[in-house]
Chain A
Amino acid sequence: MSKLIEEVCQIVTKALIQSTNVSKLSASIGPETTMNDLKEWDSLTFVNVLVTVSEHFMLEIDDDDAIQFISVAGIVELIEDIRAE
């Protein structure tokens, strides 16, 4: 797993734990994880994931790109694209 993927997994985990007030998530977050895979990542916590990840990586997210925040792979791809610009 690349360093970036690992970091994204950690930040998504942190955002979900913060917004659901649980001590541990029902499943661990990995490179393949999407919003459908665990109950804590839903429409109620979606924005918190977006805001926490954007703040951590200091990203400005366009409205059209927000949909990428439904999976770890989507977030990683977006960060790589923004960094490449």
Chain B
Amino acid sequence: MVADLRKELEAKILASPSDNIALIGRLNGVKSELTYKALGRIMFYLSSRIYSSGRKVSSIGILSNRKCEAYIAVLCAYFLGIKFVPLNPKFPKERLKKIIALSEIDLIMFDSGEANLLQSFEPDSIDLSGIVSSFLEAPEGSCISQGLSQDHIDENAFAYQMFTSGSTGAPKGVPISYGNLNAYVCGISQIIEYRQGDKCSQFFDLSFDLSMHDIFVVLYNGGTIVAAEDIDLMMPTKYIDKNAIDMWFSVPVLGKVASATEKSIPTKHKLRDALFCGEALPMAVANAFTSLLDGKAGVWNLYGPTEATIAFSARNTANVATDLVIAPLGVPFGENIAAILLENGDVVTEFEDGHEGMLLLGGSQVFSGYKPDTGKEAFHIWKGIQYYVSGDLVRQNQRELLYLGREDSQVKIRGFRVELGEIEKVFRELYELDLLAVFVRGNVGNLEICVAYQNDLDIEIGDELTARLPDYMIPSLLVKCDTLPTNVNGKIDKKALAKTYG
């Protein structure tokens, strides 16, 4: 960890050579390049607008996604020491309203493309695109760049808050502190080599915690963030070539798309390293992806929940045992400490082969608790160390961790964390169902959500459902059953359903 990542990062941005490019992406709807120098100046200009007319701000919502405006807003809030909360424009309005209320947002910064959506929300707002326009029209030199991070901010203060799916039906708020982010950026930068001027992919939506890696790790190391457009997610090899991408970071399924796409549209430019995170990485995907690299040794599997700030452990997949289907989670990096909670209640911190149990995560990347409090204990204290209980089952093998699966009903769909209980609650409420089961079919990395129900209704996916759930939580299959199967305990047998409809 460095003494103060916030001050160090801002100093790097302001001192960067004048032609170094920080951002490539849409700015005011036009494909643009923004240098580090210009980024510093524009942030300072934006900050003066945030505080205009004596406004007091404690929590900023950012309604923008994969555009220069979004990155400028994130960095400006971060340097000013104001907590920011990404508001994904693709999410249903009702979900966004809940997030705005739960995180006590008092100012929304939006890009002009989201002006219509903004009308649905109450807090005061700032039009980022309008500010960018007036900045660009101002005479060169009239906007000075001066540091925003002069005041001291406590390392325990919240830098940002992400929302994940919650089993109670409401999104669950995960606040990440300045200290958490500091530990992550420094820890990951020690094991993955980023070079000044590297062109780095930016595929993740802002509301996905992995986008914070794309912003903070890349800029800390002097790289260029290249915002992917929607079409780039479907033609990733063209995106690599067009932008001469050096560093790739995505969920495994996009890696699979890239390998498949390469057969039709081969890449001339090769990547140096590829990082995968967000869900279990099948070794078949990792191995196929090496054809997009300039060497064979650059595919990494990163593991970590949002509660431990982005990723927690890493593993280069180059020399993984051939019998493994899923890439190992590797070993914790930086200041991270892992432990395993055994079935008998013991905790092992000294790893020995064969130990199996729940993975516990400790160290300076681990968050301090959900906000608002969910009422459920998220931590396990052992010998004075507070560990986050990950819910991930692991086995210790040859000094590293192997992933075995989840303990609860949480699944990963396209990298998004989904609590099946949240979908169940929405179905119960919308259709007044008593007997239903939400289950998944398919294989790791390619799971589909299914809902089976016992009722006379003929349910179809329609507006009422899409108004409540984001698209990745919409079931792929609805099954109307005369009688739902039950197991010996009389509970609905989800395994039998998955077998029948899988």
Residues of A within 8 A of B (CB): 39, 43-44, 46-48, 50-51, 63, 66-67
Q: Given the complex, which residues of B lie within 8 Å of A50, measured CB to CB?
A: 235, 264
The residue that A43 contacts in the complex, of B233, B242, B265, with Cβ under 8 A, is B233
Residues B264 and A51 in contact, CB atoms below 8 Å apart: yes
Question: Can you sample 26 A-B contacts with CB below 8 Å?
Answer: A39-B476, A43-B233, A43-B234, A43-B253, A43-B254, A43-B257, A44-B256, A44-B257, A46-B235, A47-B234, A47-B235, A47-B260, A47-B261, A47-B264, A47-B265, A48-B264, A51-B264, A51-B265, A63-B231, A63-B238, A63-B242, A66-B231, A66-B234, A66-B235, A67-B230, A67-B231
Considering the chains assembled together, what is the distance between the CA atoms of A63 and B238 in angstroms? Answer: 9
- B234-247 interface bits toward A, Cβ cutoff 8 Å, 1 = contact, 0 = none: 11001000100000
CB contact list, B240-273 vs A, under 8 A: 242, 253-254, 256-257, 260-261, 264-265
Q: Given the complex, which residues of B lie within 8 Å of A48, measured CB to CB?
A: 264
Question: Apart from A43-B253, A48-B264, what are 8 other A-B pairs with CB-CB below 8 Å?
Answer: A39-B476, A46-B234, A47-B234, A47-B260, A50-B235, A63-B231, A66-B234, A67-B231
User: What's the tally of chain B residues with a CB closer than 8 Å to chain A?
Assistant: 16
Considering the chains assembled together, what is the distance between the CA atoms of A46 and B242 in angstroms? Answer: 19
Chain A: CB-nearest residue to B265: A47
- Measured CB to CB, the closest approach of chain B to A26, in angstroms, equals 11
Considering the chains assembled together, what is the distance between the CA atoms of A80 and B254 in angstroms? Answer: 32
Q: Given the complex, which residues of B lie within 8 Å of A51, measured CB to CB?
A: 264-265
- Measured CB to CB, the closest approach of chain A to B26, in angstroms, equals 13
Q: Given the complex, which residues of A lie within 8 Å of B265, measured CB to CB?
A: 47, 51
Considering the chains assembled together, what is the distance between the CA atoms of A48 and B234 in angstroms? Answer: 11
- B130-148 interface bits toward A, Cβ cutoff 8 Å, 1 = contact, 0 = none: 0000000000000000000
Q: Given the complex, which residues of A lie within 8 Å of B230, measured CB to CB?
A: 67
Interface residue SS majority, chain B: helix
Considering the chains assembled together, what is the distance between the CA atoms of A51 and B231 in angstroms? Answer: 15
Considering the chains assembled together, what is the distance between the CA atoms of A2 and B260 in angstroms? Answer: 33
Chain B: CB-nearest residue to A64: B231
Q: Given the complex, which residues of A lie within 8 Å of B242, measured CB to CB?
A: 63
- Measured CB to CB, the closest approach of chain B to A53, in angstroms, equals 12
Considering the chains assembled together, what is the distance between the CA atoms of A43 and B376 in angstroms? Answer: 38
- Measured CB to CB, the closest approach of chain A to B73, in angstroms, equals 26
Considering the chains assembled together, what is the distance between the CA atoms of A46 and B264 in angstroms? Answer: 11
Q: Given the complex, which residues of A lie within 8 Å of B476, measured CB to CB?
A: 39
Residues B264 and A44 in contact, CB atoms below 8 Å apart: no
CB contact list, B255-297 vs A, under 8 A: 256-257, 260-261, 264-265
Considering the chains assembled together, what is the distance between the CA atoms of A47 and B476 in angstroms? Answer: 22
Considering the chains assembled together, what is the distance between the CA atoms of A81 and B235 in angstroms? Answer: 22
Chain B: CB-nearest residue to A68: B231
- Measured CB to CB, the closest approach of chain B to A31, in angstroms, equals 21
Considering the chains assembled together, what is the distance between the CA atoms of A39 and B442 in angstroms? Answer: 13
Chain A: CB-nearest residue to B256: A44
Q: Given the complex, which residues of B lie within 8 Å of A39, measured CB to CB?
A: 476
Q: Given the complex, which residues of B lie within 8 Å of A66, measured CB to CB?
A: 231, 234-235
Considering the chains assembled together, what is the distance between the CA atoms of A47 and B262 in angstroms? Answer: 9
Considering the chains assembled together, what is the distance between the CA atoms of A51 and B237 in angstroms? Answer: 14
Chain A: CB-nearest residue to B261: A47
Considering the chains assembled together, what is the distance between the CA atoms of A47 and B23 in angstroms? Answer: 27
Considering the chains assembled together, what is the distance between the CA atoms of A50 and B234 in angstroms? Answer: 11
Considering the chains assembled together, what is the distance between the CA atoms of A67 and B256 in angstroms? Answer: 20
Considering the chains assembled together, what is the distance between the CA atoms of A43 and B233 in angstroms? Answer: 8
- Measured CB to CB, the closest approach of chain A to B13, in angstroms, equals 30
Q: Given the complex, which residues of B lie within 8 Å of A63, measured CB to CB?
A: 231, 238, 242
Chain B: CB-nearest residue to A67: B231
CB contact list, B152-196 vs A, under 8 A: none
Considering the chains assembled together, what is the distance between the CA atoms of A7 and B235 in angstroms? Answer: 24
Chain B: CB-nearest residue to A66: B231
Considering the chains assembled together, what is the distance between the CA atoms of A63 and B236 in angstroms? Answer: 12
Chain B: CB-nearest residue to A39: B476
Considering the chains assembled together, what is the distance between the CA atoms of A75 and B418 in angstroms? Answer: 34
- Measured CB to CB, the closest approach of chain A to B449, in angstroms, equals 13
Top 8 closest A-B pairs, CB basis?
A46-B234, A51-B264, A47-B261, A67-B231, A47-B264, A43-B257, A43-B234, A44-B260
Considering the chains assembled together, what is the distance between the CA atoms of A51 and B262 in angstroms? Answer: 12
Considering the chains assembled together, what is the distance between the CA atoms of A48 and B476 in angstroms? Answer: 23
Considering the chains assembled together, what is the distance between the CA atoms of A67 and B253 in angstroms? Answer: 20
Q: Given the complex, which residues of A lie within 8 Å of B253, measured CB to CB?
A: 43
- Measured CB to CB, the closest approach of chain B to A1, in angstroms, equals 26
Q: Given the complex, which residues of A lie within 8 Å of B256, measured CB to CB?
A: 44
Considering the chains assembled together, what is the distance between the CA atoms of A50 and B235 in angstroms? Answer: 10
- Measured CB to CB, the closest approach of chain A to B256, in angstroms, equals 7
Q: Given the complex, which residues of B lie within 8 Å of A67, measured CB to CB?
A: 230-231
Considering the chains assembled together, what is the distance between the CA atoms of A44 and B230 in angstroms? Answer: 14
Residue of A43, A48, A50, A67 ringed by the most chain B CB atoms within 10 A: A43
- Measured CB to CB, the closest approach of chain A to B16, in angstroms, equals 30
Q: Given the complex, which residues of A lie within 8 Å of B238, measured CB to CB?
A: 63
Considering the chains assembled together, what is the distance between the CA atoms of A43 and B256 in angstroms? Answer: 10
Considering the chains assembled together, what is the distance between the CA atoms of A54 and B253 in angstroms? Answer: 25
- Measured CB to CB, the closest approach of chain A to B113, in angstroms, equals 15
Considering the chains assembled together, what is the distance between the CA atoms of A46 and B232 in angstroms? Answer: 12
Considering the chains assembled together, what is the distance between the CA atoms of A68 and B235 in angstroms? Answer: 13
Considering the chains assembled together, what is the distance between the CA atoms of A48 and B238 in angstroms? Answer: 14
Chain A: CB-nearest residue to B477: A39
